[in-house]
Amino acid sequence: MTQIFRRLLVLLFIAAPVSAFAQEPLQVDITRGNLDPLPIAIPAFIDDGSDNARGADIASVVAADLESSGLFATVDESAFIEEIRDFNLRPRFQDWRLINADALLIGQVTRQADGRLLVGFRLWDTRLQEQLIGLQFVTAPENWRRVAHRVADAVYEQLTGETGYFDTRIVYVSESIGPRGEPMRRLAYMDQDGANPSFLTDRSYWALLPNYSPSAQQITYVSFLDGQATTYVYDLESGRQEALFASGGTGLARIDPDGQSLSARFSPDGEQLAVSIELQAGHDIHLFDLRSRSLRRLTQHPADDVEPSFSPDGERIVFSSSRGGGSQLYVIDADGGGDPQRISFGEGRYTAPVWSPRGDLIAFVKQSGGQFSLGVLDADGSGEERILFRGYYVDTPAWSPNGRVILFTRGERGREGTEYEIWSIDLAGFNLRRAPITGQSSDPAWSPLIE
């Protein structure tokens, strides 16, 4: 018996080294990597060399877009070895590896017979020596910035998996001081990168808290045109605007709220507005149907229910309410069924909830311990909240259409009181940046992707 055991043992010892040569692939696990910005080289797009050819302009707008995301680092042009002359030739990858460009974007601008620009690009991975994507666009020459943003969106999407957000606009409140020293607040809008700014409202009345419709064609905002805060719907295409609740029941909603209405937000299908109105005691959340022009009350509580924001599937609404004492965040079904579920539980006042376009998170502003913070929490109330930024004053978070970046109003103590600027921060809490706006500004709203 023991002999058998011994033989077995011997066999095992012989077998063990043999199994080492059994050519099973070696198993390696990699769970960590870097989160460094991806180095990308963006040479000037090839063009015919004329004055308005735009090859270099487009490349620099694309580069600025990608850099602003914090996820890309553009390689300095002076380091380039290969000069890209032919859009259709494979680049000499070793030249680009040498200067550590992991990605290479080359493009070409040609003027067609009809005068329009044909802009094509190819995105190469220099490590894989593969073209990742190649597209071309046609547009009117004066529209070259939008083409550049579209190129940046495609590159961003290809290399991060996220939908791009560069071909978008931002509407905001421009804050300034009038000739008699009075504060002025006017609606303004611009391209996402600060180009093409223009005003929407004039200086004779205050305008606050704009929000975009899902079509990017309309905005809602709070106007003091009538002397008190009233929600207006502004059509960007026609420039027409209409009060939702005008005095004496002359507004879109044929009621006289005899009180204030605040911060209406569109439903994801664009057919309804969620708005808080003061009809009897305290503000309540209402839904206004834009087609039937009917108003439906969603919450009914003596405490104020304000700042409603739809979930991206349109089925739920988050709002802030003081029904539990201090201001906290609650979620209610958009069809009015069920009781509001509280989702914030921390110390302090929670306000300004905005549902992420991805649906899983809600951005909020918290005021506690004499400080403001911008944070996100899980929409179902589970998990820990995450604070992205703390400061002297924080308000009005606004998501980028892909849910990766948050714009917000940031106030700092200045010589003449608090000074307001719009800043952005990545969802991961890095890449804090000031929006490229001259002068003071607040209340940002990010447009959906422009079609």
Strand-pair partners of 205: none
Say whether residue 382 binds other proteins (CB under 8 A): no
**Maximum CA pair distance of the chain?**
109
* Cα separation values, 129 from 36, 92, 103, 153, 269, Å: 21, 9, 10, 22, 43
Q: How far is the CB of 248 from other proteins (least distance, A)?
A: 18
- Given 5, 12, 21, 347, the residue binding other proteins (CB under 8 A): 21
Burial label, 56 (beta-carbon count in 10 A; 0-12, 13-18, 19+): middle
Query: How many other CB atoms are found less than 10 A from the CB of residue 220?
Result: 23
- Given 1, 4, 14, 28, the residue binding other proteins (CB under 8 A): 28
Say whether residue 437 binds other proteins (CB under 8 A): no
Q: How far is the CB of 102 from other proteins (least distance, A)?
A: 7
| Residue 316 near residue 269, CB atoms below 8 Å | no
Residue-level length of the chain: 451
Nearer to other proteins, 237 or 416 (CB): 237
Nearer to other proteins, 145 or 283 (CB): 145
Torsion-angle region of residue 413: left (phi > 0), alpha (psi -120 to 50) or beta? beta
Of 391, 397, 351, residue with least CA distance to 370:
391
Say whether residue 11 binds other proteins (CB under 8 A): no
Say whether residue 230 binds other proteins (CB under 8 A): no
Q: How far is the CB of 356 from other proteins (least distance, A)?
A: 10
- Given 59, 104, 173, 236, the residue binding other proteins (CB under 8 A): 236
Q: How far is the CB of 94 from other proteins (least distance, A)?
A: 5
User: Where does this chain touch other proteins (CB under 8 A) — which range of 201-209, 297-305, 336-344, 413-421?
Assistant: 201-209
Q: Is 77 helix (H, G, I), strand (E, B) or coil?
A: helix
Phi/psi for 122 (5° steps) reads -130, 130
Query: How many other CB atoms are found less than 10 A from the CB of residue 239?
Result: 8
Of 205, 220, 353, 350, residue with least CA distance to 275:
220
- Given 225, 290, 303, 387, the residue binding other proteins (CB under 8 A): 225
Nearer to other proteins, 3 or 238 (CB): 238
| Binding positions for other proteins, 244-283, rule CB under 8 A | none
Q: Is 19 helix (H, G, I), strand (E, B) or coil?
A: helix
* Cα separation values, 81 from 44, 66, 107, 125, Å: 14, 22, 17, 17
Say whether residue 147 binds other proteins (CB under 8 A): yes
- Given 380, 428, 434, 439, the residue binding other proteins (CB under 8 A): 428
Say whether residue 179 binds other proteins (CB under 8 A): no
* Cα separation values, 250 from 221, 243, 261, Å: 18, 8, 15
Q: How far is the CB of 394 from other proteins (least distance, A)?
A: 23
Angle between helices 144-160 and 55-68 (to 10 degrees): 40
Say whether residue 127 binds other proteins (CB under 8 A): yes
User: Where does this chain touch other proteins (CB under 8 A) — which range of 32-40, 59-67, 292-300, 384-392?
Assistant: 32-40
Q: How far is the CB of 225 from other proteins (least distance, A)?
A: 7
User: Where does this chain touch other proteins (CB under 8 A) — which range of 82-90, 294-302, 365-373, 408-416?
Assistant: 82-90
Q: Which residues contact 437 (CB under 8 A, 6 or more apart)?
A: 172, 174, 190, 194, 197, 421, 422
Q: Is 8 helix (H, G, I), strand (E, B) or coil?
A: helix
Say whether residue 135 binds other proteins (CB under 8 A): yes
Say whether residue 48 binds other proteins (CB under 8 A): no
Burial label, 281 (beta-carbon count in 10 A; 0-12, 13-18, 19+): exposed
Nearer to other proteins, 83 or 339 (CB): 83
Nearer to other proteins, 315 or 360 (CB): 360
Nearer to other proteins, 14 or 20 (CB): 20
How far, in Å, CA of 134 to CA of 114, rounded?
23
- Given 239, 325, 370, 383, the residue binding other proteins (CB under 8 A): 239
| Binding positions for other proteins, 388-417, rule CB under 8 A | none
- Given 47, 65, 102, 443, the residue binding other proteins (CB under 8 A): 102
Say whether residue 20 binds other proteins (CB under 8 A): yes
Phi/psi for 57 (5° steps) reads -60, -45
Say whether residue 98 binds other proteins (CB under 8 A): yes
How far, in Å, CA of 199 to CA of 172, rounded?
10
- Given 161, 248, 337, 370, the residue binding other proteins (CB under 8 A): 161
Say whether residue 432 binds other proteins (CB under 8 A): no
Say whether residue 380 binds other proteins (CB under 8 A): no
- Given 23, 50, 78, 382, the residue binding other proteins (CB under 8 A): 23
- Given 132, 208, 290, 449, the residue binding other proteins (CB under 8 A): 132
The count of chain residues that interact with other proteins, using the rule CB under 8 A, is 81
